Amino acid sequence: MSVFLNIVTAVVIMATTPLIIGIIKKLKAAMQNRQGFPLCQAYFDIWKTLHKSEVLSKRTTVVFRSAPYIYFAAIFAAAALVPLFLTAALGGEVFLLVGLLATARIAMVLAALDTSSAFAGIGAERELFFSLLLEPALLIILFSKIYCGSTDLALLATAQLHAQFDLQNLLVAIAFFMLTVAESGRIPVDNPDTHLELTMVHEAMLLEYSGKRLALITWAAQIRQAIYIILFAQIFIPWQLWQEPNLLGYLSVLAIKILLTLGLLVGAETMTNKMRVFRVPGYVGVAIALAIFSIFIQ
């Protein structure tokens, strides 16, 4: 029953994700000389949203009503593929991960178009636009890691045991980091914290949701961010220390790596300004170019 391990991975990621978000918010507040929310604020938010009653638009159909469940299920399944414990039954086929994330995206975009709201429309439009850039970028960056081996995420992660932190790995790491920033809806690309719907991408699509459905989507969106963060930590930070044979040592190294990633993310978010939507192709282009360079360096 090694599927069990997949499910455990997904559950662990799901349970710790709000904490990761809390750490990001806390670090950000610290960098801006603010007190910030409590560390567990994301849990409280979800808890509170679950207790709210729900308003559904009467214009919507079954697509809007079922989309949060499809979104959550697809992202949960994607989280199950993440090589958190380095081995599992569903080894973590790269293309399956991409396919599941695309499924989640389709569900959200269709739900947004179902509301017939202009804000949701602009969110959907931009989400599709970004996905067109980010999906090839993700595949190419992962390809630069896998191009002479298997397309299995777990094998990819174990291969890092013997990786050197050379120029090639550095370039790919930067490329994937840029992608993580974009995919997790952080500042140069998207801004989830503004009060203006027009400047948002992902959040604009959720405007019509409330209550339990909103809670599901918020949690799933956080898991999606966590997937990228953990992938970055596991595959793109080669660290000899994690050869520690015992579970505790392994987990602590993993935690340090994730914290490091979070620090980088917060730094990047605090130091940059949000760019115009039509600048994003150039930004993703740089990431792709770095990945391509790294392939030819070898």
Residues 192-231 contacting other proteins, CB under 8 A: 207-208, 211-212, 215-216, 219
Nearer to other proteins, 16 or 135 (CB): 135
Find out whether 72 and 217 touch, Cβ atoms under 8 Å: yes
The CA-based angle 271-272-278, given to 5 degrees, is 170
- Within 252-281, the residues that bind other proteins by CB under 8 A are 277-278, 281
For residue 99, give the DSSP letter. Answer: H
Nearer to other proteins, 100 or 253 (CB): 100
- Residue 151 φ/ψ, nearest 5 degrees: -100, 30
Nearer to other proteins, 137 or 258 (CB): 137
- Smallest distance, other proteins to C-beta of residue 250, A: 23
- Compute and round to an integer the Cα radius of gyration of the chain: 19
Nearer to other proteins, 208 or 269 (CB): 208
Distance CA 74, CA 63 (A): 15
- Smallest distance, other proteins to C-beta of residue 38, A: 20
Find out whether 81 and 156 touch, Cβ atoms under 8 Å: no
For residue 195, give the DSSP letter. Answer: S
**Does the protein bind other proteins through residue 297 (CB under 8 A)?**
no
As beta bridge partners, residue 152 has 93
Among 117, 169, 184, 222, binds other proteins (CB under 8 A): 117
Among 43, 129, 250, 283, binds other proteins (CB under 8 A): 129
Distance CA 120, CA 128 (A): 12
> Which one of the spans 66-74, 161-169, 235-243, 262-270 is the region binding other proteins (CB under 8 A)?
66-74
Distance CA 249, CA 246 (A): 6
Find out whether 78 and 97 touch, Cβ atoms under 8 Å: yes
Among 32, 61, 240, 243, binds other proteins (CB under 8 A): 61
Tell me how many residues contact other proteins (CB under 8 A): 81
**Does the protein bind other proteins through residue 40 (CB under 8 A)?**
no
Among 85, 135, 159, 238, binds other proteins (CB under 8 A): 135
Distance CA 219, CA 72 (A): 8
Among 86, 124, 173, 178, binds other proteins (CB under 8 A): 124
Distance CA 27, CA 24 (A): 5
Nearer to other proteins, 65 or 263 (CB): 65
Among 13, 20, 27, 80, binds other proteins (CB under 8 A): 80
Find out whether 84 and 13 touch, Cβ atoms under 8 Å: yes
- Smallest distance, other proteins to C-beta of residue 216, A: 6
Among 59, 249, 275, 289, binds other proteins (CB under 8 A): 59
Distance CA 266, CA 260 (A): 10
- Smallest distance, other proteins to C-beta of residue 225, A: 18
Nearer to other proteins, 140 or 229 (CB): 140
248 Cβ partners below 8 Å, 6+ apart? none
